[in-house]
Structure 1
Amino acid sequence: MFGPFERVIAGRYLRARRGERFVSVIAIFSLVGIALGVATLIIVMAVMNGFQADLMDRILGLNGDLSIYGSGRTISHYEEVTDRVRKVPGVISATPLVEGQVLLSAGSFNSGGVVHGMTKQGLLDLKGVSSSLVAGSLDDFEGDDAVAVGVTLASRAGLSIGSRITLISPEGAATAFGTVPRVRAYHIVAIFDAGVNDYNASYVFLPMHAAQVYFQMPDKVTQIQVMVQDAQNVRPVTMRIINAVGDPGLRVLDWTNANNALFGAVQVEQNVMFLILTLIILVAAFNVISSLIMMVKDKTGDIAVLRTIGASRGAIMRIFLMCGASVGVTGTVAGTVLGVVFCMNIERIRQALQSLTGTNLFNPEVYYLTHLPAKLVWGQVGEVIAMALTLSLLATLYPSWRAARTDPVEALRHE
């Protein structure tokens, strides 16, 4: 498409000579603008992808991909239901549990919390907890006097392995003086770091029998958590579970219903950020237009000479297309490299900036996660590159067309 003649002339025009520095400076700013726009868009999209993936993995890893609830508060025949669910194709595990809200108390520390009562094997299957222990062991997670707590709760309450934490439930026994809250102390056998601040700060785990005794639910559970092989394609498994259970008194609720608003909001935010940051590349493309127009005005005499010695209008247009495309391609390549390298080292960069500034740049209490995630989706990176190259190429069309339309007679008349 571009012959040796066009490449040589375009290369000379891109190398600024004395008296032409201003046009070159504008071209450099255009290149930097495109590079920063591409890098910013890649970084932001990677962070949004990482945030969505981490949020989904951790929330689903702790809450299950779907849950089965009774028509009332409890499920009495949960063992039979659990056995049926485990036989459904696509199901990895099914864990019955007892859930209840309590007040957590340890010394002067008091805070609301959520109790999950499950068997030792059920907690081992919950990889978000069992694979992230920071102290203690789940070998002792049995009996009526054991509890596992999150690392944030342990830090705030000054708890360690062997410490005792008191659970207070408002649903106590009715007496002549009113309802007396249930109060029971348990000793801590394990401390976990689930990677989600809310879980680390407010969730505690009791053995199944201990939770049934505490909440006065003998031989009953509040729900059955189910993990499936493909969480993204959970709906077919949900329908198979409904058919396998065959009990109209049970409700099956998967994550697309329970957390659809949260993940939908993240997706909308991702799309909006993509559109907003695209404007950065668009502004840089306008800079390419301005720099090329100035170059065409500056090279009017050269264009006239080239036309008189036989250069066609197409050759002139290709020369300036190459000038503009070189800026766009170089800026896109530089921005892609910068964005990819930044994403691959984003957590190290955050830690370094925190050390330099002495401030917390990613507060887990605000952002829900304990680290800054980034997930590169190469398809999206390709879309960003294609968009940047397309905008850069479109930006060169009008100035190149104007250059090709230059009348050599009129141009040389004023020289």
Structure 2
Amino acid sequence: MAIKLTTLPYEIFVGLRYTRAKRRNHFISFISMTSMIGIGLGVAALIIVLSVMNGFQEELRSRILGVASHMQISGVDNKLADWPILAKEVEHAPHVQAVAPYIMAQGMLSYGQSVQGAIVRGVLPVDEDRVADLGRHMRAGKLTDLKEGEFGIVLGAELAQSLGVILGDKVVVLAPQGQFTPTGIVPRIKQFRVVGIFQIGMYEYDAGLALIHMADAAKLYRMGSDVSGVRLKLDDLFAAPRVTTALVAQLQGKGNYYISDWTEQHANFFRAVQMEKRVMFIILALIVAVAAFNIVSTLVMAVTDKRADIAIMRTFGASPSSIMQIFIVQGALIGVIGTVFGAIFGVVIALNIETIVPFIERTLGIQFLAKDVYYISELPSHLLWGDVAVITVMSFILSLLATLYPSWRAARINPAEALRYE
């Protein structure tokens, strides 16, 4: 059964009545509407911006982990002799899904008159595809085209462009570890054929990483049966610090290993992204605060306009706390309506931003993130309902705080003074 408005406590009833426009207080109603719109826009902007920043963070994390592993165990002096035993021991550890050996070294790549330095990583293609998502970022060729003894090489897109090579071209790789000859130290040189080109979207990798088969890397860098380390993939990438701690305890006393995870390898980068997100939250929260405190001016004018009404209610026995509650209800209603509509608008935009932005770009004939400037050419969005909850609660609390001073002033009005000139 519907509840009649008159069954509500009279403080709520009067507060709701004051929110509606009357013939002599249209300006106050206009200020109330402005406050609602301001709060709504602030809440929506905060939700949309945080969702976009979450999207960027997720996109960058996925691109970085497309090349870098969740964890890696490396040996002293870049050599790990007992890696098959180590790999078998750690692959059964909690959260570990896959293990892959690798050889990491520096090299100089030459093609024609172009020379570029790069990190050369020797991998086993099948195992590497299990610990990283590099296979799905291939622009040309396949990672499995790296075959033992055929001396194939897979280059980052920027590195290939700098050298001016395409599939099938042959590049010369110079290893800094030289060999002694009667004429001096001569660097080891080997010719590799380009069998693939990948593009992660991170300049660090696209311009400075080359992949070759691990057996070919062992021959070029004279590693023998040793490797630089093993890379691990986890079922939960956020469990990496806990797994690192567990493996350090498990492998203690079994050799000299250095264990690191993605949170350590890219700690400064992700801290910077997180710090930027917090700063943006504070800045946009101030916008919501400014809009919320517009309620103060609205209620101050409402209190001035309703002095006679307040005096009459006091004369009929209304307590100061009841008068205060009336104006708290009026201000809180403004905050609730603005917050709810802002949250709905922000959620709708955040969930559809990947459709809305291309539509705006096509309509206006512009591109917000040009492919030749930014590596992420689409605006990503990842809505977290926890963020929405925090923003809406914060907005409501700010709105509620903004009602306290005007409501307190209304409760202090002296009935005799208010009715003297009426």
Same fold (TM over 0.5): yes
Q: How many residue pairs align between the two structures?
A: 414
CA–CA separation in structure 2 for the residues paired with 1:259 and 1:303: 62
Partner of 1:281: 288
Partner of 2:369: 361
Distance 1:236 1:8, change over 3 A: closer
CA–CA separation in structure 1 for the residues paired with 2:393 and 2:206: 42
Partner of 2:194: 188
Does residue 1:149 correspond to 2:166, yes or no? no
CA–CA separation in structure 2 for the residues paired with 1:47 and 1:362: 17
Does residue 1:119 correspond to 2:124, yes or no? yes
CA–CA separation in structure 2 for the residues paired with 1:331 and 1:364: 40
Partner of 1:68: 73
Task: Read off the aligned partner of 2:332 and give its amino acid letter.
Answer: A
CA–CA separation in structure 2 for the residues paired with 1:97 and 1:207: 9
Shift of 1:107: 4.6
Partner of 1:88: 93
Taking the TM superposition and a 5 Å limit, the aligned residue runs for 1:3-402 are 3=8, 5-6=10-11, 9-107=14-112, 109-143=114-148, 144-155=150-161, 157-242=163-248, 243-244=250-251, 246-308=253-315, 312-352=319-359, 356=364, 358=366, 360-361=368-369, 371-402=378-409
CA–CA separation in structure 1 for the residues paired with 2:112 and 2:305: 79
Q: Which aligned segments of 4 or more residues in structure 1 are displaced greater than 6 angstroms?
A: 362-366
Q: Is the 8 A contact 1:75 1:222 kept in 2?
A: yes
Q: Is the 8 A contact 1:66 1:254 kept in 2?
A: yes
Shift of 1:195: 4.2
Task: Read off the aligned partner of 1:210 and give its amino acid letter.
Answer: D
**More deviation, 265-274/379-388:** 265-274
Tell me the alpha carbon deviations over residues 161-209 of structure 1, each in whole angstroms, 9 at most, x when there is no partner: 3333443333333445554344433223233333434223322211111
Distance 1:323 1:62, change over 3 A: same
Q: Is the 8 A contact 1:85 1:245 kept in 2?
A: no
Q: CA RMSD in A?
A: 3.1
Task: Read off the aligned partner of 1:55 and give its amino acid letter.
Answer: L
Please, which runs of 5 or more residues in structure 1 have no aligned partner? Answer: none
CA–CA separation in structure 2 for the residues paired with 1:47 and 1:254: 26
**More deviation, 181-190/335-344:** 181-190
What SS is found at the alignment partner of 1:375? coil
Task: Read off the aligned partner of 1:234 and give its amino acid letter.
Answer: A
**More deviation, 10-19/186-195:** 10-19
Task: Read off the aligned partner of 2:265 and give its amino acid letter.
Answer: A
Q: Is the 8 A contact 1:66 1:227 kept in 2?
A: yes
Distance 1:154 1:343, change over 3 A: farther
CA–CA separation in structure 1 for the residues paired with 2:377 and 2:120: 22
Please, which runs of 5 or more residues in structure 2 have no aligned partner? Answer: none
Task: Read off the aligned partner of 1:204 and give its amino acid letter.
Answer: A
Give the TM-score taking structure 2 as reference length: 0.85
What SS is found at the alignment partner of 2:293? helix
Q: Is the 8 A contact 1:197 1:369 kept in 2?
A: no
Shift of 1:217: 1.8
Q: Is the 8 A contact 2:70 2:233 kept in 1?
A: yes
What SS is found at the alignment partner of 2:119? strand
Q: Is the 8 A contact 1:68 1:251 kept in 2?
A: yes
Give the TM-score taking structure 1 as reference length: 0.87
Shift of 1:362: 7.0
Amino-acid identity (%):
38
CA–CA separation in structure 2 for the residues paired with 1:347 and 1:109: 40
